[in-house]
Structure 1
Amino acid sequence: MSLDDLNAEMEESYAEIGDELAVALDRETRNELALLETALEPEETDELVRRAVHMLFQTTVDSGKLDFQLRSGYDVTYDEYLSGMTFDEMTGADQYPSMDDERRYQF
């Protein structure tokens, strides 16, 4: 897979999610959400869920787990995704022809 594949799948997921998402909660999650709502008093419960997604995303980026998953599945990193170019494209390494080791030292 490649950066183009990642972009295509991201656009597809973004469209599928839409503006609202119905989420089934188990007992533990419902209990934790109720406690957070009581303690933090947000305007809406949705705000806590949005914050939770942001925190999970940031933690995943900071720990390197996102890069690991992206490299494993798409052979790119988060920085490459953000820039829209792979490291080889940024450095120009993909512009040179591959070396033929058998003919490398022949004149």
Structure 2
Amino acid sequence: MRLAESFYGQTSTRQKSGARGLCVYVCHPGGAKVVDAIEQAMELPDGSLDAERATLREAGNMSAPTVLFVLKKVLESGTSGQMMACALGPGFTASYLPLRVSEGAK
């Protein structure tokens, strides 16, 4: 959560809101335990990473590009605003991409 706060100065949530500074996490679901650990480490409310869990359930872990499938689900749900995409790589690497999604984007 501190990473997003440094970018946006806000706490994290995945609620549709027009509030400026909203940060939505879009994470690579490396596995069920990884998603749980991300949620816990970033102090996200339970259910914040439901799109990650659904993608993992439907398609499994497709390596770092899995985050793009999660992003598709998030966009299809109508979520917009400031987002932070996170992809996991080999070993203990992670890449982050801040992005802004306009309302109505799919």
Which TM-score applies when normalising by structure 1?
A: 0.24
- Structure with greater proportional strand content: 2
Which TM-score applies when normalising by structure 2?
A: 0.24
- Structure with greater proportional helix content: 1
